[in-house]
Structure 1
Amino acid sequence: MNAPRRKPGSTTSGLVLIDKPQGWTSHDAVARTRRLANTRKVGHAGTLDPMATGLLILGINSSTRLLTYVVGLDKEYLATIRLGAATTTDDAEGEELTRAAAGVVDGVSATAIAAGIQGLTGAISQRPSAVSAIKVDGKRAYARVRAGEDVELPARPVTVSEFDLVSSTRVDGFLDLEVRVVCSSGTYIRALARDLGDTLDVGGHLTSLRRTRIGPFVIDAADPLDQLDVASALIGPADAASRLFGRLDLSEEQAIDLGHGKRIDAPEGSADAGPIAAVDPSGRLVGLVEYRAGQAKSIVNFPPDAPMAEPVGPAAAEDAS
């Protein structure tokens, strides 16, 4: 039996904002979007654990070049930290390591919690969870842990610009804290839960996590993965780049020159800066440029798009598992 026929792969590019459901990996989301967009060239910016939900930014075709700049943006999360127990993974999916007596947890004061949160706010040194995706001698830390190895990752600097307590609830001898965190790329919310529990001498772990913002992109603009229509959800390259960077509107001649690798004059009085989104009169993203000594030089070029092709046959309805 012949495989389902598909039209030639699409070269339409842009960013897509996904509201990732719980239980799906970031790879699952990429695989499903590849089918829907009829292209292999799909990538994501910033992994979300299967337990986590919320904003995942995907780049399609040439717009995968923008993901490098998205990954490093600040992020916002809503999370639940459970005080009273520590786990092997610093979240609810791990095995329980220690549990504090209910009376001990009940004795944790609001003042102590506030002080603990304050101590984890600002520029801090954070030891990532051992089950993170950080590579140790070429192998993911979580893979080493699953293989039975003891993994102790070195601490590294991160910035937690906002760490707010939204509400607290006592549940079965535990204290659940609903929190909002704004942080730099590379910050582990699981590690914040662990460290807050350690500071309060009761243990702590994460029971829920939802990413609500990455840089200028917010969860309210994202589509649920099971309702995704790529063509309508696509943020075009020029729009996406203009949200990420400043914008330079080009004349037709300037667009041609940049496309041929030539330098053009920067706007009068421009300071050295970059990247800047360079957009031609038709609204197409020609590339990203940088201003140096009064000139604009291309640092990343973007090819023109072709119309998006639709998958044909049963494969269009396949889901990632």
Structure 2
Amino acid sequence: MLSQQNMSTNATVDHCKTPNLVTYKALSWLMIGQFVLGLPLNLSVLYIFIFRFKFWKNKSIFLFNIVVADFLLVACLPAKAYHYQHGQRRSLNSVVCKTMLFMLFLNRGASIGFLITLSIDRYFNVVHLGRRNFVKVLKKTPQISIVIWLLLLPLTIPTMVKTFECCNSHGREVETYFHDVTDTFREVVFFTQIIIPFIILVYCTVRIVNRLRKKTVGEKTKLRRAVCVVMSVVVVFSICFLPCTIARAVLLAFRLNKWQAAEDVAVQVYDSLMVLSYMDCLLDPLVYCFCNSGFKDAYITTFCPTFLQQKLLNADFGMRNGAMTTTTTSGAKTIMLPVMEK
């Protein structure tokens, strides 16, 4: 009985070790790079949202929540890189392991939830213009963001269950019924929180593009901006979320069929694509710029050199004039207004 227990423990420890140390050391340096770039970028975005843009006055509560979600991710990167440097796919400390996985799941769920909400808002503003937009109503209620975070908790709590082996146990030989059900629920959450929002995103994008084709020339500039919003979210999904989802499905297939050699390769591919998914903390600021030109102008005037400010603001002002129905004489001041939310 004791020897069997030792064998189970050894198998678990071996599974927690990296299949290829060189691969994981390279991934650790990639995460360090993401942290070095992501920390100042997200700090600067947070500064603009709070002190310059005042998000609570400009109906940008959802954008601010994406910033908070990105901070959860950036905070996890140094610890994750440390474990990879030392040949472990996760922390040997159970509390750290569960906390890290919880934070990563929460970040992923929050990012996806608020990004999709923004896309749906653009969809209603363009395709169903004139009808009551429930998303626009929600944007005026900060408490809704708290509700969204609370709704994410039941989907994230299973990552904290103590029975997870190496935070990644589905398909292992030693399983109890509770263990198997909990792991299955986590896998269902992992896939549905990517697949269902992506279907919604594709639908919104197709409808907005079709609407753009039917509009007259005078109305197209505003619609093009709406297309840029949803397309930027598509880019984030395509780079950060879809590849690791496909790799996860392949990994589970190999594991359940007990193809150990193939699983060792699939684990490295999956972990590599998961590291790639952490790029959303660098790509999300692009969404902020497309969603709200007022935020972009505040960021440019705060952090860009003077000579570059003029070029960027003048180019943007020219595009906005195409979207206006009347000509204004106070162009310099108009640039600073968040016209995207109109």
TM-score by length of 1: 0.29
Larger RCO, structures 1/2 (Cα 8 Å, 6+ apart):
1
TM-score by length of 2: 0.28
* More helix by percentage: 2
